[in-house]
Amino acid sequence: MRSFGSSLILLLALRISSSIATDTICPTSSSTSVSTVTSTITVTSTSISSVSTVSTSTSSSTTATSSASCSTPLGNGIAGASDPWWLQNMPHVGTSAFNPSPLSYKVFRNVKDYGAVGDGVTDDTAAINAAIADQSRCGQGCTSSTTTPALVYFPAGNYLVSAPIIPFYYTALVGDAKNRPTLIAAASFVGMAVIDADPYIPGGGGAQYWVNQNNFFRAVRNFNIDLTRMPVASTATGLHWQVSQATSLSFVKVIMSQDPATQHQGIFMENGSGGVLSDLEFVGGNLGVFVGNQQFTVRNVKFSNNKIAIQAIWNWGWTWQNVQIENCGIGIQMKTGGTSIETQTVGSEVLLDFTVTNTPIFVQTTTAQPSSLAGSIVIENAKLTNVPIAVGVQSGATVLAGSTGTMTIAAWAQGNIYSGAQPVPNYVQSNITPPAKPASLLDSSGKIFGVGRPQYENYAASQFVSVKAHGAKGDGVTDDTAALQSIFDTYAGCKIIFFDAGTYLVSDTINIPVGTDIVGEMWSQILAKGTNFNDQNNPRVVLKFGKSGDVGSLRVSDIVISTYAGSAGAIVMEVNIKQASQGSVGFWDTHVRLGGSAGTGLTQTTCLKLQGHGVECSAAFLSAHITRGASAYMENVWLWTADHQLDDDPAESQIDVFSGRGILIEGENVWLVGTGSEHHAIYQYRVNGATNVYMGLIQTETPYYQPNPAAPNPFVTNSAYSDPDVSSLKSALALSVTNSDHVLIYGAGLYSFFVSYAQTCLQTWNCQDQIASVGSSNQVRIYGLSTVATTWQMTFNGTPAINQNLNRNGFASTVTAWSSNELTRVTKRWVPVKARMHKRMVPARLPDSY
């Protein structure tokens, strides 16, 4: 995802950070840690056969080498309370198949092997950064690379640092999940943040290591970050997290000074195109988080004793889900009022399932917006206790009164709202009718269900089975189909399947039984290749999870699935399992990456843009399919058809890669949390015949090559897969909902930036005619619908209904709330918007590319 004017946004961020008042003092109080998620596998037995010794054989992968079948159900973990986390004890034989030195390159790195001590006294900065940088990885001067991955592991301990830890491209920093290590900033610390995911180059005039909107594939999890030794007056920062898609920050606690004069902050984020933040905690400090980014999803985060918990400076759309704010001066402070590209401020905030306690102000905007859109807000299911002002303005005005007792905001909105085919919005600052939420989508407290990635903290290494130890090669050349199928047939349900780092080539469908748990070491890659996947008229599944009628569990994390050139018939992943309990069928940090990387045959040397490419540059029929009756919980899942090259190309050249469809949802009880689907020819998200679906936030981009060729080319529509007819539109639909019930979309960023790779359409704001369509469905609710350069934001029952020009909100146009059923106000402040077209806002300087 590329964006406009990163330097403009940086200047905006710096200006705003200095102009917003932050002098409210947060009282001190005790806090509790965000709980980690443990395995939910039902216990039937704890007798586990041991894992075979890691094989170093170079024999063919066509026959699995497992020494015995396992028949005892996995059950509970058997690790002792004092045992290190299983990952530390696993044999690490992972490789990078397309690295210039694949056999000697180390993917797994333990910082103690590089000299880190972890005693809280020794300065471990150099050792940690050496572990990250070892073996010519993608640091400063390297735009991106998938061939130099690194999982940098921190055993339990206290690691003192005096300068930033810089995770290079394609890096996961992972601490012991059983006993989180602590990163301690020394009193003498110098630098932007303890973890700096995109450093500014000294003397570089604002230049950084990586283009922030292309800063993909990063993870940080299982850490405490302690800033309390740093001077109170310093802007001590836990993380500079300027990142893009396929990034996750989870199970991290930042501890800051609680001195009344503190200037500490947990996260500084001034730009990017994310992303997911989950299972985090911020204690003390001036700012819990300072955030500006095109879009992000935040789930299960706790703020306590911050002066300001969340300071939001700009965005196109963010969704916050299940957030606790305790004993803070202000819960959320939003920079608002900007309606042009040059004055971009907060575009849209969707605030879902908040609990706010002992905090004078829940939401504060910097400008009053009594009658026109300049910062969209939706609050739903917010419980306030001793919060006198629910929504206020920095000048002191109260927009929505709170209570010194307890109150619940069922649903409240500021912005333009629509129902059905209503062509002209009503501007509101009022309570609105909340949607009817199916109980099956809610947890026991009535909040939208959510669950963090499984980390198997109580399991021992002996309860995992390495695929390389049982016949799979992962070298990107050997056909691993038979070996992997044998491993799943043998060990599913009684071992956790560990995919050592590598690229596992498969030539036919892999059938993965219900009850399987899969963990990748470092975005371990499954690469589909061969004639079985070539025919779009006879599509074939690559990874088939369960079969129709299955009920039970399946959990997948840290996997990338790709295809080889010419795979026009590949259905990359198909989910057929109905959940046995909420979230028992789940995917975390699991991505479909089609083209743009080494080993795929879909690169700048074969598929450079505007060269008239055809079937040879096709990558997939369908990226993901949740079939009828199936369930799924997906968090941080990115379905990306590459628009540019990631490997061996400093220019990041744009490329033609053709895939037919993004994700097709036909099941029931589906949660999509922080997902993206980009550059598919027919649609990005398709919900058809589905029931009980939650999506928040979803993000899309229309293929850059369209309308040349025009949608659906080079594919043809297929009624067996309920394809919408897009032939008259010429561009892909970002969202299509038909014949479905209870579809809740809490945040949608649907973007169109190009016409046949040219961006002159941004001058006239008409890169695409229609982008989202809902028809023949009941109880569909969309909050925070933000589109870019699309004439009609919503088509309802076949009729274009919502014109973008009535909803301009900075770079994007935002519909605060839309409902397929009547959406009504329940209090005052209801202002009809005049049926006129706003003046088109054109940037003073257009970007070269997005």
Contact between 460 and 50 under an 8 Å Cβ cutoff? The reply is: no
Q: Which residue has the tokens 């706790």?
A: 302
Is-cis flag, bond preceding 231, omega within 30? no
The pair of structure tokens assigned to 10 is 């940086």
- Judged against a pLDDT cut of 70, whether residue 57 lies above it is answered with no
Q: Pull the structure tokens for residue 444.
A: 């026991």
Check residue 27 and give its pLDDT: 33
pLDDT at 130 over 80: yes
> Cα(792)–Cα(800) distance, rounded to whole angstroms?
6
Instruction: Tell me the C-alpha distance between 267 and 285, whole Å.
Output: 11
| Three-state secondary structure call for residue 462 | helix
* pLDDT above 90 for 31: no
Q: Estimate to the nearest angstrom the gap between the alpha carbon of 554 and the chain centroid.
A: 20
Assess whether pLDDT exceeds 60 at residue 42.
Answer: no
pLDDT tens, position by position, 155-186: 999 999 999 999 999 999 999 999 999 999 99
Q: What is the pLDDT of residue 824?
A: 62
Neighbours of 179 (CB within 10 A): 16
What's the pLDDT at 467?
99
CA distance 658 to 641: 7
Residue 687 banded pLDDT, cuts 50, 70, 90? very high
- What stretches of 371-448 show up as alpha helix (H) in DSSP? none
pLDDT of residue 826: 54
> What is the Cα–Cα distance from 476 to 598, expressed in whole angstroms?
10
Distance, in Å, from the CA atom of 79 to the CA atom of 674, rounded to the nearest integer, reads: 32
Q: E strand or H helix at 293, and its extent?
A: strand 287-304
- pLDDT beyond 90 at 679: yes
Alpha helices by DSSP H, 439-537: 481-491
Task: Name the DSSP class of 162.
Answer: S
CB of 766 closer than 8 Å to CB of 788: no
Q: What does the block give as tokens for 824?
A: 């009504």
* pLDDT tier for residue 823 given thresholds of 50, 70 and 90: confident
Tokens found for residue 414: 């500021």
Contact 93, 466 (CB under 8 A): yes
236-245 confidence digits (pLDDT tens): 999 999 999 9
Alpha-carbon distances of 370 from 195, 275, 346, 348, 425, rounded to whole Å: 41, 32, 16, 16, 15
| Dist CA 618 CA 658 (whole Å) | 4
Task: Give, in order, the Cα–Cα distances in Å from 446 to each of 370, 406, 651, 656, 712.
Answer: 31, 17, 49, 45, 41
Rounded mean pLDDT, 821-832: 57
Task: Give SS3 for 57.
Answer: coil
- DSSP annotation of 705: T
Strands 426-431, 830-832: pairing kind: antiparallel
Closest CA to 55 of 20, 91, 83: 91
Q: How far apart are CA 401 and CA 388, in angstroms?
A: 7
pLDDT recorded at residue 272: 98
Q: Average pLDDT in the 762-781 region?
A: 98
The mean pLDDT value for 410-425 works out to 98
Place of tokens 């007792």: 405
Tell the residue number behind the tokens 């529509």, with chain if given.
Answer: 717
Q: What is the pLDDT of residue 71?
A: 78
pLDDT band at 836 (very low <50, low <70, confident <90, very high): very low
What pLDDT band is residue 837 in, cutting at 50, 70 and 90?
very low
pLDDT of residue 46: 29
pLDDT: is 788 or 22 the higher one?
Answer: 788
Token pair, residue 479, equals: 């056909």
Instruction: Report DSSP letters for 712-740, one per residue.
Output: TTTS---GGGT----TTT-S-EEEEEES-
**DSSP string covering 766-827:** -SEEE-EEEES-EEEEEEEEEEESEEEEEEETTEEEEEGGGSB-SSSEEEEEEESS---BSS
- How high is the mean pLDDT of the chain? 91
Q: What is the pLDDT of residues 480-502, one digit of tens each?
A: 999 999 999 999 999 999 999 99
Which pLDDT score, from 0 to 100, does residue 55 have?
32
Preceding peptide of 275 cis, ω within 30°: yes
Pairing of strands 287-304, 330-334: unpaired
Across residues 338-354, what is the average pLDDT?
Answer: 97
pLDDT value of residue 320: 99
Q: Give the pLDDT confidence score for residue 316 in this predicted structure.
A: 99
CA distances from residue 199 to 209, 275, 385, 767 in whole angstroms, order as listed: 6, 18, 40, 33
Positive or negative torsion for Cα 324, 181, 636, 571: negative
- Beta carbons of 448 and 442 less than 8 angstroms apart: yes
Q: Please say if the pLDDT value at position 839 is more than 50.
A: no
Report the pLDDT averaged over residues 448-458: 99
In a 13 Å sphere around the CA of 696, the CA atoms on its Cβ side amount to: 28
Residue 848 pLDDT exceeds 80: no
The domains located in the chain, with CATH, are 119-385 (2.160.20.10), 472-751 (2.160.20.10)
Q: How confident is the model at residue 747 (pLDDT cuts 50, 70, 90)?
A: very high
> Do the beta carbons of residue 41 and residue 76 sit within 8 Å?
yes
Tokens 């743009």, residue located: 596
pLDDT tens for each residue of 296-345:
999 999 999 999 999 999 999 999 999 999 999 999 999 999 999 999 99
pTM of the predicted model as reported, rounded to 2 decimal places = 0.91
Residue 311, CA atoms < 13 Å, CB-side half-sphere:
30
Cα 560 to Cα 246, 269, 677: the distances in Å are 10, 26, 14
Q: How many residues does the chain have?
A: 850
Q: Does residue 370 have a pLDDT over 50?
A: yes
Distance CA 739, CA 721 (A): 14
8-state DSSP, 615: G
| pLDDT value of position 2 | 52
Worst-scoring range by mean pLDDT, 13-27, 202-216, 220-234?
Answer: 13-27
Mean pLDDT of 572-590: 99
Integer Cα distance of 403 and 413 in angstroms: 18
